[in-house]
Amino acid sequence: MIGFYDYTVVLTYIGFASGVTGIFCASARHLRWAVFFLAFAGLCDMFDGKIARTKKDRTKDEKSFGIQIDSLCDMVCFGVLPIVICYKLGMKHIFSMAILILYGLAGVIRLGYFNVMEAKRQEETSENRKYYQGLPITSMAIALPLFFVVSPLFPSHQGLLVILHILVAAVGVMFVTDVKIRKLSTKELFLLVAVVAAAVAVIVFVWHSWWEFLHFHR
């Protein structure tokens, strides 16, 4: 069998499975569960790199494979899955689909560029990355759950859709904007996980009738 099989990629594969499951849920209009799997995929992505670095004897090929497979899985989980969710939420007009296409394209460009620069960086240094160039594509695993939490507070369906369009467009632009974003410390990372986990819990267990409330079925 081709490929590299060890514990360093297991969490990446679990995240991929979560992303695909989220796509199934979104396609069946089980959107709160789709957001749950999006957030879970984000959780896996937060820690897969830390797990991979615990294996000190990784070969150059194993490191390169890890970079490539991580980005491929990221595109499914944080590129395709959010696009399907947003489409099902009502981004179905021509200009809406244009925004979703540009969001996906920005994600592809960002991940391709990251792969090139990360491979180059690892050849030059063994230090951990301290900054990201542009907004990480996994950011949508934070933005969409938080959007869902506040969505029932908006009485207007159209107003909420406007905000969703702006959110998707802004996040997509930030993917390819050349700004330095500091990586979170371990303590900050766990705090962020707690916030997103609380948001997902609200979506899954509190807003049972949010679909009907917002009339997204129209």
**pTM of the complete model:** 0.90
215 φψ region: left (φ > 0), alpha (ψ -120 to 50), beta (else)? left
CB 77 within 8 A of CB 15: yes
Q: How sure is the predictor about 207, in pLDDT bands with cuts at 50, 70 and 90?
A: low
Predicted confidence at residue 217, as pLDDT, reads 44
Average pLDDT on 66-74 reads 91
Number of domains forming the structure of the chain: 1
Predicted confidence at residue 53, as pLDDT, reads 76
pLDDT score of 62 more than 60: yes
Q: How sure is the predictor about 209, in pLDDT bands with cuts at 50, 70 and 90?
A: low
CB count in 10 Å sphere of residue 91: 20
Q: Which two tokens stand for residue 38?
A: 């999006």
**Residue 1 lies inside a defined structural domain of this protein:** no
**Residue 2 lies inside a defined structural domain of this protein:** no
Check which CATH number belongs to the domain holding 12 and give it: 1.20.120
**Residue 126 lies inside a defined structural domain of this protein:** yes
pLDDT score of 182 more than 70: yes
pLDDT score of 212 more than 80: no
CA distance 65 to 94: 37
Q: How far is CA 178 from the centre of its chain?
A: 19
Q: Which two tokens stand for residue 109?
A: 């460009």
pLDDT tens figures, 132-152: 888 999 999 999 999 988 877
Q: Quote the domain boundaries for residue 187.
A: 7-214
Q: Which two tokens stand for residue 181?
A: 């974003």
pLDDT tens figures, 14-30: 999 999 999 999 999 88
CB count in 10 Å sphere of residue 53: 14
**Residue 46 lies inside a defined structural domain of this protein:** yes
Predicted confidence at residue 101, as pLDDT, reads 98
